[in-house]
């Protein structure tokens, strides 16, 4: 499906990114495996995870190069895309997968914890996508695949920074889809549920948390890769601006914000009228304060 294509996979050294890089290579793509090699909180640097994936791809007869630049900087992101151009002469797909976690309950979250997560997930997705966008525009084609999360789409406790970044990515992806459609460029999101280093930080103290963790551990990162490969291919040429959740053998098309219900009052509203009429009329349609585990409450299929 990807013969002759060149794909950049950020955070490609481990977990979901690794499986996507390997799957894209098996589908015929040349792959830039980008990974800073930091731990799950973003600390440290290690070139070996990205190089190990490259070695595996090359051993299987594919083409790949490693890149250790940070996604979170304008110039370093441009070097990631430049690695594809220098090594393979073009770039056809960017998978924005790189991420870190700095979980904390909101009233204890620090500015540094918020900034670090926003920098890697949201700014990083922007920087790498922006670096590729000018090349996509020039060649009249290209695909972005961004990783969002049910933590943002639905909600989770202790992840305000992560949820904010992941919902920001949804808005970023939709804007890219709108702005670049005329150039033949597509942009979609995947919300993955799989056991990885990042989900390995999910708390497992209470019985409910332990049960949730057991469900997550059944879902391997390899289950996410086929959707990413499809979105990078010509088979998805008419698919853009969408959000897909992938959970073991299940694929969901996720909703996007649209009006649910409205009320109207001639002459406008007073605070008292809002309290007496508007809110009672709207209340039955309020969205519940769910967490992702409440919405996806059944065992993986």
Q: For position 43, what pLDDT does the model report?
A: 75
- Which tokens hold the place of 261? 């219900």
Report, as an integer, the average pLDDT of 108-125: 98
Whether the per-residue pLDDT at 3 is higher than 80: the answer is yes
Whether the per-residue pLDDT at 201 is higher than 70: the answer is no
What domains lie within the chain, and their CATH numbers? Answer: 6-256 (3.40.50.720)
| Mean pLDDT for all residues in the chain | 93
How crowded is the C-beta side of 207, counted as CA atoms within 13 Å?
0
Split at pLDDT 50, 70, 90, the class of 266 is very high
End-to-end CA distance of the chain: 26
Tell me what percent of the residues of the chain surpass a pLDDT of 90.
84
- Tell me which of 26-40, 128-142, 160-174, 234-248 is least confident: 26-40
Q: For position 37, what pLDDT does the model report?
A: 85
| pLDDT tens per residue across span 55-67 | 999 999 999 999 9
Q: For position 209, what pLDDT does the model report?
A: 67
Q: For position 171, what pLDDT does the model report?
A: 98
Residue 128: strand, helix, or coil: helix
| pLDDT tens per residue across span 13-53 | 999 999 999 999 999 999 999 999 877 766 777 889 999 99
Q: For position 5, what pLDDT does the model report?
A: 98
Split at pLDDT 50, 70, 90, the class of 251 is very high
Q: For position 219, what pLDDT does the model report?
A: 79
Question: For the whole model, what pTM was predicted?
Answer: 0.91
Long-range contacts (CB closer than 8 Å, 24 or more residues apart) made by 118-122: 118/161, 118/164, 118/165, 118/168, 119/72, 120/42, 120/71, 120/72, 120/165, 121/162, 121/165, 121/166, 121/168, 121/169, 122/164, 122/165, 122/168, 122/169, 122/172
Whether the per-residue pLDDT at 202 is higher than 60: the answer is no
How crowded is the C-beta side of 246, counted as CA atoms within 13 Å?
21
Closest C-alpha to 98, from 204, 176, 21: 21
Other Cβ atoms within 10 Å of 85 Cβ, number: 14
Split at pLDDT 50, 70, 90, the class of 1 is very high
Residues 6+ apart with CB under 8 A from 61: none
Does 162 qualify as catalytic in the annotation?
Answer: yes
| pLDDT tens per residue across span 156-190 | 999 999 999 999 999 999 999 999 999 999 999 99
Split at pLDDT 50, 70, 90, the class of 208 is confident
Given the residues 88, 114, 144, 162, the one annotated as active site = 162
| Total residues belonging to the chain | 301
């Amino acid at each position: 499906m990807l013969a002759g294509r060149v794909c950049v996979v950020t955070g490609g050294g481990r977990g979901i990114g690794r499986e996507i890089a390997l799957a894209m290579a098996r589908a015929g793509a040349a792959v830039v495996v980008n990974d800073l090699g930091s731990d799950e909180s973003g600390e440290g640097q290690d070139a070996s995870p990205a190089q190990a994936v490259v070695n595996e791809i090359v051993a299987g007869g594919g083409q790949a190069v490693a890149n250790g630049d940070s996604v979170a900087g304008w110039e370093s992101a441009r070097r990631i895309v430049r690695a594809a151009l220098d090594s393979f002469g073009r770039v056809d797909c960017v998978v924005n997968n790189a991420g870190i976690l700095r979980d904390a309950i909101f009233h204890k979250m620090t500015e540094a914890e918020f900034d670090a997560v926003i920098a890697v997930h949201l700014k990083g997705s922007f920087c790498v996508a922006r670096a590729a966008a000018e090349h996509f525009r020039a060649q009249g084609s290209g695909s972005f695949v961004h990783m969002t999360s049910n933590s943002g789409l639905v909600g989770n406790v202790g992840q305000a920074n992560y949820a904010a970044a992941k919902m920001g990515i949804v808005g970023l992806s939709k804007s890219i889809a709108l702005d670049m459609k005329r150039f033949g460029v597509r942009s979609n999101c995947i919300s993955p549920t799989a056991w990885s280093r990042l989900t390995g930080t999910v708390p497992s103290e209470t019985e409910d948390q332990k049960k949730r963790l057991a469900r997550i551990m059944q879902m391997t990162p390899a289950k996410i890769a086929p959707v990413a490969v499809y979105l990078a291919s010509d088979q998805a040429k008419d698919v853009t601006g969408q959000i897909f959740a992938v959970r073991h053998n299940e694929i969901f098309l996720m909703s996007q914000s649209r009006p649910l219900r409205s009320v109207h009052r001639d002459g406008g509203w007073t605070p008292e009228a809002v309290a007496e009429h508007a809110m009672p009329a709207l209340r039955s349609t309020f969205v519940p304060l769910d967490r992702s585990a409440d919405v996806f409450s059944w065992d993986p299929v």
